[in-house]
Structure 1
Amino acid sequence: MERESTARTARDRIVSDVDRMCHGEGDPPISELSDRAALLVACGLVEPRIAEVVRARMHRNLAFPSVGGFHQVRVIEEQRHDLRRIIDSPAPSMLRMALRTRLADLDRKYMVLRTGFTRGAGVFAFRIKDIRADRRRGVHLDTDDRGRLFDALASTPTMAPVPLVPRTLGELGTVAAAFGQREMGRVVLPQRMQSVVQSLPSLPQIRSDRRRIPEMYTAMLMEVGGLYDRLSAAFVRGGRSVEEIRLQFDAESEVIGLSGDLCRLREAAASAGMPPAGDGFTTLTGMGALIDGAWAEVVERAVALRELVESVETRADTAAAEAERLAGIARANGVRPPSSRHQPSHADLAAEHLAARAGDRMLSTEAMRRLRGQIDPDQ
């Protein structure tokens, strides 16, 4: 909390969040990403054509296949990565054999979730006529592209605790003994044997590892995704008071652009063969003045996003407080309180789509008038 008390500007707060995520100190400053935010962050790892389809589907409020929360995919991928690394190390053969069994189980779970996502039952069109119509609207993803998007989702950052993988024979024995003790507790035993089992000392568990994001680019990705979730919540909370801001600001495109820049920076740092700022935020990337300048621009873009989000939250909180005050007055006088939540109708969605194309209409009108001026200059 001391860091938060000294953070005054939006930049200070972002730096504080990145430092805490990289150090793994205290409670996570960012909540786990929602599925929508995870999809936008994953767009930085896929081709631009896939990102355009994701953005178009979100603008049209079209769903994506759900697997019960993309956070579980990220946890599985973290464990698979750790297991592969330990198996490839000079570990005892008994430990590697047990870890291979665990890895096969996680691979199977991953493939089940991936298959459910790529099939897209009830979400993506499957008839030829419907597929062609969705392609014309720019909202259809082929099966291979869905697989690429799912693999990108598995590589997005997470703050969820990931269970530690056993690294020694002692830890493996602890896990096996704890599992056996839990299973024994489920068996219906005579009363005398139950008392013996319950009297056994509880075995220590291999606790979940404290979440620590390895470097500042991934931590900034987490920060940007969290800002999108906060902005979405503020739009719902504020209702009509923030409707004008929602119509003017394309939050999805902004997050996709930031994610793309951050993923390129992370890839450049990885190819340089150096640990990029593992101790927290820094303005020096170690990859030259050109990359430092690009990183500074990305940070300023994230700062501007946070400032906007905080302003929208303030307006939404004010509107929510005012709505609650009016609702209290209405209840006190036996009148039905007005609803502060605004659910957009079909007309509202159509108006939003038309407002987004206002610039295209303006440019087209001016182009036609210039062309007519060339043909008939006297008019």
Structure 2
Amino acid sequence: MSESARYEEHRARISVEVRHWCERATITGTHAPLSDKAAVLIAAGHLDSPTRQVLTNRRRAGRSIPSIGGFGALRLLTDEYSQAVERIGTQRFRPAQLLYKYRANELGRKLQSYRSAVVTSTAHYGNGVWAMRRDRRLGVHLDLEQREALFAALQRTPAPISEAVLERVGDLARGAAARRLSQAAEHTPMAAVGRRAADAVGRGVAPGDDKFADGYDTLLYLAGMLFDRIDSSHLWHSDHFEVQRNQLDLAEELTQIALDTVALRGIRLELDEALRATHSDGGRKQIRARQSALTPVWDQLVERVAALARIGDLLSHAEVQLRSLLAANKASSLDGRIDDLIARSGSRELSAQNTHHVGDQFDGAEELMLTYQSVLYGDISELISRSNGEP
């Protein structure tokens, strides 16, 4: 199989994998929460155009958003709070109601604390008339209402949830109980029995594949995870890929993917509601036709995320090969220097041949980077065309 055919097969395999994950709302393995940078870019997809522009201006000016230790955790906290509030009204027994009410109050206080940190931080937003005027002139001022909207959007940050939030709390409790049981039995005649019992109690805490609320959250998380992967690549920020970085604004691409995904989810939900409320055959047929018309939009979003995945893979391969190439060249150069040193019997001058050999390693690296630049150019061109809605 030719190199071109292998590359095309790899592209197709990534697209199929991304689509499969989104359809199942599950990503194989466990993954870290998104960075704050990715979370804010995705949150911008929930906001209006003026607020998105201010966030873009702030990012380019180096103005950050207050951190609370991870917006993925904020999403989980918000979901747990909503479930606790919902459970209060479904419990028949008062002790259970009081338990969920206590938990809801506790979570509500945490959410309010985080809201204050994000919305009212004087260290991140202009404090005083002159500071606000200056920030407005620079296009980086967020009004209080915009900050509230941003916090609400950050509460929807896509985050992997292995199981229902309250069930996850139960698993954590079982894990803690298992540790206490094992510690209590240690250094006693029942130590072996205690360890087996602890294993049985804690058996439910093993992590599985990451699950998400729906396919849209899965797609957004994948896009954010790939953004973090590419943005953290030293090679991506090197001189080798300066042209490619100028071609593709990663941050803007992530926001646009989020904007289209959020809009698609909202429209599809409205169409589903309209379909349930419509009883005429003609009306239902028209709604189904509109639903079918949205299928290409979803397909395009999947391909845009798959394109980011291909870029991420390409950079990872390039980094591995570059490290291997430089390590091999360094070892080869060292061997030559040792032989030259022995041959010269103490001479302290490097031979011209050895100097050229040291320089050859950079020629090999440049040739390798030219190959990856060429492949990456094709992926970025395709991604940009999809972003612009071209066929």
User: In 1, Cα distance between the equivalents of 2:208 and 2:330?
Assistant: 50
**Aligned to 1:269, what secondary structure does the other structure show?**
helix
User: In 1, Cα distance between the equivalents of 2:311 and 2:21?
Assistant: 19
Higher Rg of the two aligned structures: 2
**Aligned to 2:66, what secondary structure does the other structure show?**
coil
Distance 1:55 1:25, change over 3 A: closer
Deviation (angstroms), 1:232? 1.2
Structure 2 portions without partners, runs of 5+: 1-8, 276-285, 338-357, 366-391
Amino acid corresponding to residue 254 of structure 1 in structure 2: E
Tell me the matched-pair count.
316
Please name the residue that 2:22 is paired with. 18
Do the aligned partners of 1:71 and 1:158 also contact (CA within 8 Å) in 2? yes
Please name the residue that 1:134 is paired with. 135
Please name the residue that 2:343 is paired with. none
User: In 2, Cα distance between the equivalents of 1:178 and 1:298?
Assistant: 40
Distance 1:308 1:214, change over 3 A: closer
Matches within 5 A, 1:54-133: 54-133=55-134
Do the aligned partners of 1:237 and 1:320 also contact (CA within 8 Å) in 2? no
**Aligned to 1:288, what secondary structure does the other structure show?**
helix
Please name the residue that 1:372 is paired with. none
User: In 2, Cα distance between the equivalents of 1:201 and 1:301?
Assistant: 48
Amino acid corresponding to residue 149 of structure 1 in structure 2: L
Deviation (angstroms), 1:312? 6.0
Matches within 5 A, 1:343-358: none
Please name the residue that 2:290 is paired with. 290
Please name the residue that 1:213 is paired with. 212
Larger displacement relative to structure 2 (10-19 or 71-80): 10-19
TM-score by length of 1: 0.67
User: Per-residue CA shift, 1:230-279, capped at 9, x if unaligned?
Assistant: 331346555111121112212222222221221122223333456x9xxx
TM-score by length of 2: 0.65
Larger displacement relative to structure 2 (290-299 or 218-227): 290-299
Please name the residue that 2:50 is paired with. 49
Amino acid corresponding to residue 242 of structure 2 in structure 1: E
**Aligned to 1:139, what secondary structure does the other structure show?**
coil
User: In 2, Cα distance between the equivalents of 1:199 and 1:330?
Assistant: 51
More helix by share: 2
Structure 1 portions without partners, runs of 5+: 277-285, 341-379
User: In 1, Cα distance between the equivalents of 2:63 and 2:145?
Assistant: 19
Q: Please, what is the CA RMSD of the aligned residues?
A: 4.3
Between the aligned residues of both structures, percent identity stands at 20
Distance 1:154 1:236, change over 3 A: farther
Please name the residue that 2:346 is paired with. none
User: In 1, Cα distance between the equivalents of 2:224 and 2:297?
Assistant: 18
Deviation (angstroms), 1:112? 0.9
Do the aligned partners of 1:32 and 1:160 also contact (CA within 8 Å) in 2? no
Please name the residue that 1:240 is paired with. 239
Deviation (angstroms), 1:72? 1.3
**Aligned to 1:264, what secondary structure does the other structure show?**
helix
Amino acid corresponding to residue 321 of structure 2 in structure 1: A
User: In 2, Cα distance between the equivalents of 1:159 and 1:91?
Assistant: 31
**Aligned to 2:160, what secondary structure does the other structure show?**
coil
Distance 1:165 1:320, change over 3 A: closer
Deviation (angstroms), 1:313? 4.5
User: In 1, Cα distance between the equivalents of 2:141 and 2:177?
Assistant: 48
User: Per-residue CA shift, 1:43-78, capped at 9, x if unaligned?
Assistant: 122222211122222233322111111121011011
Do the aligned partners of 1:238 and 1:316 also contact (CA within 8 Å) in 2? no
Distance 1:44 1:216, change over 3 A: same
User: In 2, Cα distance between the equivalents of 1:14 and 1:307?
Assistant: 10
User: Per-residue CA shift, 1:206-225, capped at 9, x if unaligned?
Assistant: 75897432322222222222
Do the aligned partners of 1:41 and 1:225 also contact (CA within 8 Å) in 2? yes
User: Per-residue CA shift, 1:182-223, capped at 9, x if unaligned?
Assistant: 899999xxx99xx9xx79965946758974323222222222
Distance 1:219 1:326, change over 3 A: closer
Distance 1:244 1:178, change over 3 A: closer
Deviation (angstroms), 1:166? 6.5
Please name the residue that 1:318 is paired with. 318
